[in-house]
Amino acid sequence: MLSRRARLNYWMSRYLERSNFTSRLLISTHELQIDLYLNDQIAWKPLLTILGSTKDFDKTKKQINKKNIMAYFISNKLNASSIASCLGFAKENSLIIRDQLPEQSIIKINELLISFNQSISKNLNKNNYLSILKNVIQGSQNFMYSSDLEMQRNMDYQFLKLGRYIERSDMMVRILQTQILRSKEHNKNYEYLTLEWINILKSISAFQAYRHHSKNDISISDIVDFFLKTETFPRSVMWNLNQIERAIFRISNKKEFVKEIRDIKKRIKKYSIKIDKLDNLLIFLEDVIKRISNLDKKVEKYYFS
């Protein structure tokens, strides 16, 4: 398989997954601000911090508020991580490898991009933010469903899978970081904080799965544990790391690569979550992010260079 084709599959999948999770982050932040009466700084600044966009957003010289942050992450094509940019990049990649993708997958990407571009061509306002984001989530999932159902389990599929799960692992940790930073910023009591975390669960469609999984009363430490460690929920970090390992095994079974994945899993399993020590948890999550980023570098080194 040509390394160029592998890279295109890998990054198309990552861009679509990033657009999905960016949409979820924006929706959950919007709902938290409304439900808990958070001011703009507390609600939106952590999102800029965790997505590494603070400096670039500052260059726009706009205030941190819902309208400006929504526009920056939805339609600003100067922001390489905006939904508009990610969908554009995914579309460009799909055009080059369209003969390797199922017809329905190509149709789903086209439908998503057309619908999205039509929506943002109108003035963004509070009435259509959420409908745009929900359509992005649904559209990216439609692509995923069609590729899972119709693609042969060949190398093209394995690189799609590898991109999807590396991106999803990265974004899941960033969702945790965002909420932890937000929790540190305000003085709400524990019950309010628990409500915030329940909202985060709902934002990734995980609340019902969490309730089935956990036999304890709802607690922040238990929710964080579920996000990180459970091996049965398809959006948990541990589950995604397992999928990355399986994809690598099917592509080439690089022992050094597999060892690094297993080391991350071992660290997560051993880590004891203490919600009263948020700074320590942030340091741990930052280390996990760096290690997941290193997996991306390994993909580049072993398969694309």
Instruction: Give me the phi and psi of 165, to 5 degrees please.
Output: -80, -30
Q: In the chain, what is the straight-line distance between the N-terminal and C-terminal CA atoms, in Å?
A: 13
- The rounded mean pLDDT for the chain is 90
Q: How far apart are CA 116 and CA 109, in angstroms?
A: 10
Q: Residue written as tokens 């990265």?
A: 170
**3-state class (DSSP) for residue 80:** coil
Residues 93-121 have a mean pLDDT of 93
Per-residue confidence band for 190, with pLDDT thresholds at 50, 70 and 90: low
Instruction: Find the mean pLDDT for residues 114-125.
Output: 82
Q: Is the pLDDT of residue 198 over 90?
A: no
Look at residue 106 and tell me whether its pLDDT is greater than 80. Answer: yes
What mean pLDDT is predicted for residues 211-234?
88
Q: Residue 262: what pLDDT?
A: 96
Query: What is the pLDDT averaged over residues 45-70?
Result: 91
1 pLDDT above the threshold of 60: no
The percent of residues in the chain predicted with pLDDT above 90, rounded, is 66
CA–CA separation, 153 vs 12, rounded Å?
A: 17
Structure tokens at 126: 């509070």
- pLDDT of 36 over the 80 cut: no
The C-alpha atoms of residue 297 and residue 293 are separated, in whole angstroms, by: 7
In the predicted structure, residue 124 carries a pLDDT above the cut 70:
no
The pLDDT of 113-122, averaged and rounded, is 88
The predicted pLDDT at position 179 comes to: 85
Burial class (CB in 10 A: 0-12, 13-18, 19+), 61: exposed
Q: CB of 294 within 8 A of CB of 256?
A: no
Query: Taking residues 24-39, what's their average pLDDT?
Result: 86
Q: How far apart are CA 239 and CA 164, in angstroms?
A: 12
- Between CA 243 and CA 257 the distance in angstroms is 13
Provide the pLDDT confidence category of residue 221 given band limits of 50, 70 and 90. Answer: confident
Which two tokens mark 131?
Answer: 């409908």
Residue type at 258 in one-letter notation: V
Identify the pLDDT of residue 125. Answer: 65
For residue 196, pLDDT over 90 is answered with no
Q: CA 194, CA 188: separation in Å to the nearest integer?
A: 10
| Tens of pLDDT, residues 223-262 | 899 999 999 999 999 999 999 999 999 998 788 899 999 9
CB of 138 closer than 8 Å to CB of 111: no
- Alpha-carbon 214 to chain mean position: 23
DSSP structure class, residue 255:
H
Among the ranges given (22-31, 36-45, 117-126), the one the predictor scored with the smallest mean pLDDT? 117-126
Does the pLDDT of residue 185 top 90, yes or no?
no
Q: List Cβ neighbours of 42 (8 Å cut-off, separation of 6 or more).
A: 182, 185, 186
Q: What is the mean pLDDT of residues 117-138?
A: 83
Tokens representing 244? 């990355």
Least confident of 30-44, 106-120, 188-202, 224-238: 188-202
In this structure, how many other beta carbons lie within 10 angstroms of the beta carbon of residue 232?
Answer: 10
Q: What is the 3-state secondary structure (H, E, C) of 38-62?
A: CCHHHHHHHHHHHCCCHHHHHHCCC
The residue type of 69 is I
Average pLDDT over residues 21-32: 91
